[in-house]
Amino acid sequence: MTEKQTNDNEDANERGPRQRKVRALPPVSTIPTLFTLANLVCGFAAIHYASKPIGTTTIFDWSTLTVAGILVFVGMFFDSVDGAVARLTKSMSDVGAMLDSLSDIVTFGVAPALMMLRLVSHYYYGPEESQASIIGPEAGDFFSKIIWGIAAVYLCCTALRLARFMVETPSASVEDHRLFSGLPTPGAAGAIASLIVLQQHLLFTTSETSTTQAVLANTFALGIPFVTLLCAFAMISRLPYAHFVNRYLAPKQDFTWLAKIIIPLVFASLWPQITLAVGFTVYALTGPLTLMQKKRVTAPEVGSNP
């Protein structure tokens, strides 16, 4: 090999890393992306209100946690619309799916966990002390560390649930989104947020004595961390859950579909907070109930011949 060829090879090796081709970003559809980013902004706004001390706001005189919960539900709406819009416009892409998962971590992971921490801090530390701090890992007592640990476990399970969904779902078609393995992150966030919104509604509208209000607030504050932990485990489980939008809002439905949609809408118009809490709680329980029913059907009868 001549000296010139040697120098050329050395120059090529030096230029190699610099001239390595970077994978080009494919075109991104505008409308579905805007819906996904709207979901992300709703999650960010929910975190903003959840970080504030509990009190009334200028938004319909709702409490800060009520506004945070409503923003989670609005983000849920945008999350359900962006996929449908992407399928209608035939603009589904890997970038959109990844962006959707990142937005879901904020809206359905960080926001509900922080809402739970704010609620427990308010009734465990007291309104005065909770204005300056929120339960964290630096807390000295064992109960506070457990509550913060539950919030951290919930957030980690949300990320694991979304990562598993991205890997195991073969495509973005409707056929691959009729059943979920594990509680979907919007369902888990809805169960937590709806119970907190119901607690705030009962607390700020009850006409009972202050003692009854304190008992009601403490009961919810102690129960919601337990619900949060159950939702975290349900997300990473293999429990079967139906896709609500694809199942009940599909273009072609039977006649009973009207009753399944109209009756909840009537109840929601009369008692929105109770309807949301009951609806999301029932949905979270459908996974274990469905699994138990399948095991009961497939189990052989006792004493039957093989």
- Which segment of 21-30, 64-73, 194-203, 273-282 scores lowest on mean pLDDT? 21-30
Name which residue leads in pLDDT, 251 or 140.
140
Encode pLDDT of 151-166 as tens digits. 999 999 999 999 999 8
pLDDT attached to residue 179: 80
State the pLDDT confidence band at 43, using cuts at 50, 70 and 90: very high
Mean pLDDT of the chain: 82
DSSP string, 225-281: HHHHHHHHHHHTS--EEE-HHHHHSSSS--THHHHHHHHHHHHHHH-HHHHHHHHHH
pLDDT tens across 262-277, in order? 888 888 889 999 999 9
Identify any residues that bridge with 179 across adjacent strands, giving them in sequence order.
Answer: 242
pLDDT band at 283 (very low <50, low <70, confident <90, very high): very high
Left (φ > 0), alpha (ψ -120 to 50) or beta: where does 126 sit? left
State yes or no: pLDDT of 14 exceeds 80: no
Digit-coded pLDDT (tens) for 68-122 = 999 999 999 999 888 777 777 776 777 888 899 999 999 999 999 999 999 999 8
CA angle 113, 213, 281 (to 5 degrees): 45
Instruction: Give the chain's radius of gyration (CA, Å).
Output: 24
pLDDT of residue 86: 75
- The per-type count for the chain, helices as H runs and strands as E runs, is 12, 2
Please tell me what DSSP assigns to residue 138.
Answer: T
Helix or strand holding residue 93 (H, E): none
- Assess whether pLDDT exceeds 60 at residue 172: no
Q: Give the pLDDT confidence score for residue 177 in this predicted structure.
A: 60
Q: Which domains does the chain have, with CATH numbers?
A: 29-239+253-288 (1.20.120)
**CA nearest 249: which of 190, 299, 199, 177?**
177
Q: How confident is the model at residue 170 (pLDDT cuts 50, 70, 90)?
A: low
Closest CA to 51 of 137, 110, 7: 110
Greater model confidence, 203 or 176? 203
Neighbours of 67 (CB within 10 A): 23
pLDDT (0 to 100) of residue 234: 97
Q: Which residue has the higher pLDDT, 251 or 71?
A: 71
Q: Which amino acid is at 218?
A: N
Residue 14 C-alpha from the chain's centroid: 48
Q: How far is CA 206 from CA 87, 126, 209, 212, 216, in A?
A: 45, 20, 8, 9, 10
DSSP 137: T
Alpha-carbon distances of 25 from 20, 83, 107, 223, 287, rounded to whole Å:
15, 20, 25, 46, 38
Name which of 24-28, 62-66, 77-81, 92-96 the model is least confident about: 24-28
Q: Give the per-residue pLDDT at 302.
A: 46
Band (306; pLDDT cuts 50, 70, 90): very low
Q: Judge whether residue 4 has pLDDT over 70.
A: no
Per-residue pLDDT band at 249 (split at 50, 70, 90):
low
DSSP secondary structure code for residue 201 in this structure? H
Contacts of 235 (CB under 8 A, 6+ apart): 157, 158, 160, 161, 182, 183, 184, 185, 188
Virtual torsion, Cα 51, 56, 60, 65, nearest 10 deg: 30
